[in-house]
């Protein structure tokens, strides 16, 4: 099973484990390093003691021109205190002075004390009583030999053991303090990350349950979380906008369908009841209303096709200018009623042959121009003109510059007009669409791998459409 833990618990645990690991590693290596160095130092010190003792014995022999028992005893007793048990024999192997004979009790208690101390601190200590014999040489002549017994290979005296114990204790205390500190710091860091996250979660839950908005901005104190929070804010804003658009759409759809249907219903009922005569004009009027409903449904259907990415293109060589002329003809009545004109200009320099056979989907591209002209008729207003310029660039891309000199689109609305269901305040124009036209325009242009740009001021709205030349579809 995949268990989930709180982020705070995870962070504190990670910090503690990491800190514990680092502290443990440092303690072990420091401890091991110090002890090892100390061992070497103790062994070196022992060798020095042996060397000094031998030198002192030779010096006493030479100074006294023979064995000086007082000096030897003095050196022997001093050596016991330093952990060395000496036995001096002359060349005939006759003992001159032996620490064991002098004070066997002191030697034994020294050895057993040291062993006990060492075993107390190091249960694996493998020291043994060891003896080494050295010749005593003066003027290149061996005059005696000294056997030195000691606990080898090394041992620590009480001060040295005390020093090592203190170091160990310091390491343990420092380790515990560092561990507590790292848990505390881990807690602080975890809190600084999780607290703003909790705030975001609380606010998101509020949106879910109470439908509240993220009105209170939070300062999270960390770049990534702030970015996450800001993205959440934008997401929430978009969800709210979409929600608003959806509500508006439902209302408008109902209105758009109800008006023509009521008209048709009224005319038909009046004709059935014999109030109205059945005339061609009335039948044509009903037909027109039904066609309005149909075109509305087709528009919604086209959007659904485009949004579900089911828009497929059939590229054929197309006469671009004739598409625009066609629309001109079809919209002639509405254009005349508005006293609007369409001026089509084809730049002289361009490849006319290509313009008359441009690879694209003519039906879809026609839809683009129908929607743009329809918008100009609806929004640009009476006595305006529509100027369309066709150009073909050196890379054979088609550039259509479409502009009218109507009321334009407010700057604040420009970034949104291609969004589905987005409408600029209808009170400006008195016209109400569904906010689908430009969404479809953009989808069709992008399906052709092209781009659409918009510029608007008052007066005037300009769309620049660029369609790249792609002939592998043909």
Which residue, judged by CB position, is nearest to ligand ADP in the bound state? 433
Please answer whether residues 155 and 114 qualify as being in contact, where contact means their C-beta atoms are separated by less than 8 angstroms: yes
Chain residues 74-93 in contact with ligand ADP, contact rule CB under 6 A: none
Stretch that binds ligand ADP, among 131-139, 185-193, 224-232, 374-382 (CB under 6 A): 374-382
Q: Is 256 in the site for ligand ADP (CB under 6 A)?
A: no
Please answer whether residues 319 and 356 qualify as being in contact, where contact means their C-beta atoms are separated by less than 8 angstroms: yes
Q: Which two tokens stand for residue 366?
A: 């026609």
Shortest distance, position 246 Cβ to ligand ADP, whole Å: 15
Shortest distance, position 456 Cβ to ligand ADP, whole Å: 7
CA distance 241 to 55: 100
Selected binder of ligand ADP within 367, 375, 384, 405 (CB under 6 A): 375
CA distance 134 to 148: 8
Q: Which CB, 156 or 379, lies closer to ligand ADP?
A: 379
Shortest distance, position 278 Cβ to ligand ADP, whole Å: 34
Number of H helices, E strands in the chain: 11, 11
Could you tell me how many residues of this chain bind ligand ADP (CB under 6 A)?
A: 22
Please answer whether residues 178 and 24 qualify as being in contact, where contact means their C-beta atoms are separated by less than 8 angstroms: no
Shortest distance, position 324 Cβ to ligand ADP, whole Å: 16
CA distance 299 to 420: 12
Q: Which CB, 79 or 439, lies closer to ligand ADP?
A: 439
Q: Is 379 in the site for ligand ADP (CB under 6 A)?
A: yes
Shortest distance, position 297 Cβ to ligand ADP, whole Å: 14
Chain residues 399-458 in contact with ligand ADP, contact rule CB under 6 A: 404, 406-409, 417, 422-424, 433-439
CA distance 287 to 303: 24
Selected binder of ligand ADP within 302, 376, 405, 466 (CB under 6 A): 376
| Residues contacting residue 319 through CB under 8 Å, at least 6 positions apart | 355, 356, 357, 358
Q: Which two tokens stand for residue 236?
A: 């929430």
The residue among 422, 464, 419, 468 whose CA lies nearest residue 447 is 468
Q: Which CB, 133 or 259, lies closer to ligand ADP?
A: 259
State the Rg of the chain over Cα. Answer: 51
Q: Which CB, 260 or 437, lies closer to ligand ADP?
A: 437
Shortest distance, position 387 Cβ to ligand ADP, whole Å: 12
Q: Which CB, 62 or 413, lies closer to ligand ADP?
A: 413
The residue among 65, 461, 53, 11 whose CA lies nearest residue 195 is 11
CA distance 312 to 169: 79
Selected binder of ligand ADP within 380, 392, 444, 452 (CB under 6 A): 380
Q: Which CB, 151 or 372, lies closer to ligand ADP?
A: 372
Contacting positions for ligand ADP (CB under 6 A)? 371, 375-376, 379-380, 404, 406-409, 417, 422-424, 433-439, 461
């Amino acid at each position: 099973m995949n268990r989930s833990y709180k982020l705070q618990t995870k962070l504190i645990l990670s910090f503690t484990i990491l800190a514990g690991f680092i502290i443990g590693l440092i303690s072990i290596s420091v401890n091991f390093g110090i002890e090892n160095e100390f061992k070497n130092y103790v062994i070196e010190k022992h060798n020095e003691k042996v060397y000094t003792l031998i030198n002192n014995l030779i010096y006493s022999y030479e100074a006294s021109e023979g064995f000086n028992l007082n000096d030897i005893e003095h050196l022997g007793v001093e050596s016991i205190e330093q952990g060395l048990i000496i036995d001096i024999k002359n060349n005939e192997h006759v003992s001159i002075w032996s620490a064991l004979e002098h004070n066997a009790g002191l030697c034994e208690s020294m050895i057993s004390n040291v062993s006990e101390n060492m075993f107390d601190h190091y249960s694996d200590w493998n020291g043994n009583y060891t003896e080494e014999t050295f010749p005593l040489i003066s003027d290149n002549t061996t005059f005696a030999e000294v056997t030195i017994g000691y606990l080898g290979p090394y041992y620590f005296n009480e001060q040295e053991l005390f020093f090592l114990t203190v170091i160990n204790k310091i390491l343990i205390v420092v380790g515990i303090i560092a561990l507590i500190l790292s848990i505390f710091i881990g807690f602080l860091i975890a809190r600084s990350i999780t607290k703003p996250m909790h705030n975001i979660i609380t606010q998101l839950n509020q949106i879910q349950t109470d439908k509240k908005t993220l009105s209170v901005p939070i300062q999270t104190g960390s770049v990534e979380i702030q970015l996450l929070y800001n993205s959440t804010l934008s997401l929430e804003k978009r969800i709210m906008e979409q929600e608003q658009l959806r509500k508006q759409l439902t209302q408008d759809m109902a209105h758009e369908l109800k008006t023509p249907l009521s008209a048709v219903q009224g005319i038909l009922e009046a004709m059935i009841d014999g109030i109205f005569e059945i005339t061609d004009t009335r039948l044509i009027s009903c037909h027109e209303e039904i066609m309005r409903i149909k075109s509305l449904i087709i528009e919604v259907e086209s959007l659904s096709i485009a949004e579900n990415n089911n828009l497929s293109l059939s590229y054929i060589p197309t006469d671009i200018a004739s598409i625009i002329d066609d629309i001109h003809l079809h919209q002639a009545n509405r254009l005349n009623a508005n006293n609007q004109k369409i001026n089509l200009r084809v730049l002289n320099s361009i490849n006319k042959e290509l313009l008359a056979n441009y690879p694209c989907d003519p039906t879809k591209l026609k839809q683009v121009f129908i929607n743009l002209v329809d918008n100009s008729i609806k929004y640009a207003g009476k006595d305006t003109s529509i100027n369309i310029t066709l150009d073909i660039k050196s890379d054979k891309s088609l550039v259509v510059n479409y502009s009218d000199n109507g009321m334009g689109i407010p700057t604040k609305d420009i970034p949104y007009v291609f969004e589905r269901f987005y409408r600029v305040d209808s009170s400006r124009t008195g016209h109400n669409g569904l906010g689908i036209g430009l969404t479809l325009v953009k989808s069709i242009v992008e399906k052709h791998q092209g781009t659409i740009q918009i510029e608007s001021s008052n007066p005037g709205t300009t769309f620049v459409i660029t369609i790249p030349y792609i002939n592998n579809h043909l």
